Each structure stands twice: as structure tokens, then as C-alpha cells.
Amino acid sequence: MNKKKILLKTSIFFCLVSFLIPFFLKSNNDSWVTVLGTAFTSLGAIATFITLLIAIFLFNKFSLDNKFLENQTLKVLELADYLKGKTIKIKTENFTYYLRFNIDDPKLEKELFYEKMKSKTVVINFDDFSLFTDTILEMKRSYWLPQEIKEKLEFLNIYGIKEIPDNLEEANLAKVFFKDKSNNEDFYVTLPNLTVEELLLKKNILVKEIHNWLNKYSEIKIDLKLEEPEKYIDEK
């Protein structure tokens, strides 16, 4: 039985008891009019008291809910602030694409360079990848980050890497640079495997979820395009 039903039944019980008690305490000298008046007075007093208790209960509940939502909003904004202006470089044999944390223009899918790179397998430098994702995954472990956003971050939570198979040619690879600050030049295939198309799709879903959550639970508008690069494609 939920708390609302318990509260309702308890309130009805005490109201009935308060109304009936004067009838049980009626003496021979008391008229029925007097007893009835006392019963209604008693009922009014207990109803006022119950109303006060309900008001206190609701105030505490909504105060707790508001505090919880405030903490969630701060954590979502922390994530958005970290992603704001970030650029991920995707380098293939013929193109270098600069991926930004906003929702890509649908026209991108019709571009020649995208058609040529979308099916390529993503390979990463693990040190470089960790420099970028460690902060994000720390936020993901936070109790305050909404579950729906945590789920959309899951693509960054790889469970392993493996050496590039001999049968996977250089032309079929897309080197992804997150920070581009590591001195280690070794690249690995992610586990699970990821293509460029999947990476862009999952990134778009994440950004959309952040926007949707903030639109639903707050009036805060964010612009993840801040400090975006001046160019997005290098062609050899």
C-alpha cells in the first residue's frame, strides 16, 4: 500500500473517531443538539490538524524533490560544460573530419567524404582516449547524473581494446583523436567495435538527450557550439 492511500485511510479513520467520540461520552443531561455540535467542532479541529500534517508532509516531499532535481541539473550542466567546444578529430586515408558536440546537420549524410568514411572502423590511442573520457566516466558514475543520460554515454565506456587485425587494411581505418596530446602513437580497435557512422550517431543521441532533459526539467538553454573550429574537413 503506497503512502498516499495510508495517509488517506488514516485521516478518514481519525475524522470518524473524532466525530463519534462525543456520542459515546454523552450524558443524560446533554441534548442531541449539543452532542452533534460538539461532534462537528471536534471533527473540524481534527481536520485542521490533519490538513496541517499533510501540508508539512507535502512541503518536505517537494523540498526534497526540488533539491534532488537541482543536483541533477548541476551535474547535467557540468557534463555540458565539459563537452562544450570540444572537437574530436577523425582521420582517414583521404579526409580529416572535425567532430563537434552538437547535432550534425542531416545534410552531412549526403556529403561525399561522409559516404567514404562512415563504414570505416574506429581505432583509438588508448592514452589519448582516456585523457578525454576519464572525466566523463567519472560524471557517469555520479548518483546525480540522470539515468537516461548515463545510458547515452555508454558508448564511451569501452570494455577493452585489441590490436588492429592484419586483415584490416589502413584504408578501412579511421583514427580518432580526442585530446591529441599523447606521445604514444599506438592505435587499437575498440571493444565493442565502432564505425564512424555509429560514433556520430551515438554522439548526436547524447547531445539530443542533454538538450531534451534540460528543456523538460529546467528553463536553461545551452549552446554546445561555443568555440567550435573554423573548419571541419581537411582533404588531402
Q: In the chain, what are the domain boundaries? A: 3-67, 84-235
Q: What is the mean pLDDT of residues 75-88?
A: 90
pLDDT the model gives residue 31: 62
Which grid coordinates belong to 123?
581505432
Model confidence at 227, in pLDDT bands (50, 70, 90)? very low
Model confidence at 110, in pLDDT bands (50, 70, 90)? confident
**Cβ atoms < 10 Å from Cβ of 35:** 16
Which grid coordinates belong to 9?
485511510
Q: What is the mean pLDDT of residues 66-93?
A: 89
Which grid coordinates belong to 22?
462525543
* 22-26, 116-120, 230-234: the lowest-pLDDT one: 230-234
Is the bond into 22 cis (omega within 30 degrees of 0)?
A: no
- CA-CA distance, 80 to 212, in Å (whole number)? 12
Q: Where do runs of H (alpha helix) occur along the chain?
A: 3-24, 32-83, 112-117, 126-140, 147-152, 196-217
192 touches 104 (CB < 8 A): no
% of the chain surpassing 90 pLDDT: 39
Residues 18-65 have pLDDT tens digits of 656 656 665 666 666 665 666 667 666 666 666 666 665 655 555 556
pLDDT at 97 over 80: yes
% of the chain surpassing 70 pLDDT: 64
Any long-range contacts for 220-226 (C-beta under 8 Å, 24+ apart)? Answer: 220/73, 220/77, 222/77, 222/80, 222/84, 223/84, 224/80, 224/83, 224/84, 224/85, 224/100, 224/101, 224/102, 225/85, 225/100, 225/102, 226/84, 226/85
Of 232 and 89, more confident: 89
Of 213 and 20, more confident: 213
97 touches 232 (CB < 8 A): yes
